[in-house]
Copies of this chain bind each other. A is one copy, B any other.
Amino acid sequence: MTPWNQVTIIGVGLIGGSLGLALKATRLARKVVGVGHRQASLDEALARGAVDTASLDPAAGVQGSDLVVLATPVGNFGDLMARIGPALAPRTVIIDVGSTKAQVVAQLEPLSPPSCTFVGCHPIAGSEQRGVAVARADLFRGATCVVTPTAATPPEAVARVSRMWECLGMTVRVLSPADHDRLLAEVSHLPHVVASTLVRVITADAEPLFGPGWADTTRIASGDPTLWRDILLSNADEVAAALERFEVTLAAFRSALSRRDAARLEALLAESKARRDKLVKRNNGP
């Protein structure tokens, strides 16, 4: 693809920093500008080579860029767009990398200047860790990116943004913002709530007894609480629906257990194992 002339990444943490490293490693951006609200983080991003220059001022940081990436928590997107809007060059493409899409797209599309294009994106990559210190150029390789255009999004902007993610090694799926949120509630937001609940439920006496199974099952509960508060609130209806389905499905387990129904219990466990093994194998064992 034709490289971007200048890319501004607002929020240079794990995802933003990894994107900077990846765009530079693949030469998909001639120059990367980092914007943050702490000079120390920007200095670290510069030192790691994730960005070429840095600014504490979003409006100054986006000047002259043909791609702007919103990589802060989703709760900040509205304020940010209001601040950078007047400074954006005509025909700038704006993308976000947030974990929810319906609210974000509905909010940002009208705020985006008429001469610019907003394209919602969700690269499904990352970990419970934070900050540019853990960023890496290959974070996106082998993972999926969901791109969520609306009827108003110019197809050529969708194509160019999709091509960029593909060049970083991602499989791109185009979904409506609403479909994205419904499906991500199932594979990401619900598991987060469940993992967080699993941590809360253990008694103090059980603490020394956890093994690698508990550690893995609850890993995502170590994610940033503010970030996840925003994700859950901005997709509350879909998360509530997934939670309800989860509780119904859990009740089937509870019932088999209370009836000491060995055959049913084994069938439930075997179906889950077969399905998970198939999915993990198909996705090449992420």
Nearest to A180 among chain B residues (CB) is B209
Q: Does A219 lie within 8 Å of B218, measured CB to CB?
A: no
Asked whether any CB of chain B lies closer than 8 Å to the CB of A127, the reply is: yes
Asked whether any CB of chain B lies closer than 8 Å to the CB of A174, the reply is: no
Give Cα A196 to B194, complex, Å: 12
Number of residues from A at the complex interface, CB < 8 A: 89
Give Cα A112 to B225, complex, Å: 52
Q: Does B173 lie within 8 Å of A188, measured CB to CB?
A: no
Given A200-B275, A211-B143, A286-B215: A193 touches B233 (CB 8 Å cut-off): no
Chain B residues within an 8 Å CB radius of A249: 197, 200-201
Q: Does B193 lie within 8 Å of A250, measured CB to CB?
A: yes
Interface residues of A in 153-174 (CB under 8 A from B): 171, 173
Residue contacts A-B, CB under 8 angstroms, 29 given: A124-B210, A124-B211, A126-B211, A183-B206, A186-B203, A187-B202, A187-B209, A187-B211, A188-B209, A193-B250, A196-B272, A197-B246, A200-B271, A201-B246, A211-B286, A213-B220, A215-B283, A216-B219, A217-B220, A221-B272, A221-B276, A223-B273, A229-B262, A233-B257, A233-B265, A236-B260, A243-B250, A243-B257, A247-B247
Interface residues of A (CB under 8 A from B): 124-128, 143-144, 146, 171, 173, 179, 183-184, 186-188, 190-203, 205-226, 228-229, 232-233, 236, 239-240, 242-243, 245-247, 249-250, 253-254, 257-258, 260, 262, 265-266, 268-273, 275-277, 279-280, 282-283, 285-286
9 tightest Cβ-Cβ pairs between the two chains A and B: A225-B269, A225-B270, A124-B211, A196-B272, A183-B206, A199-B272, A229-B266, A187-B210, A186-B206
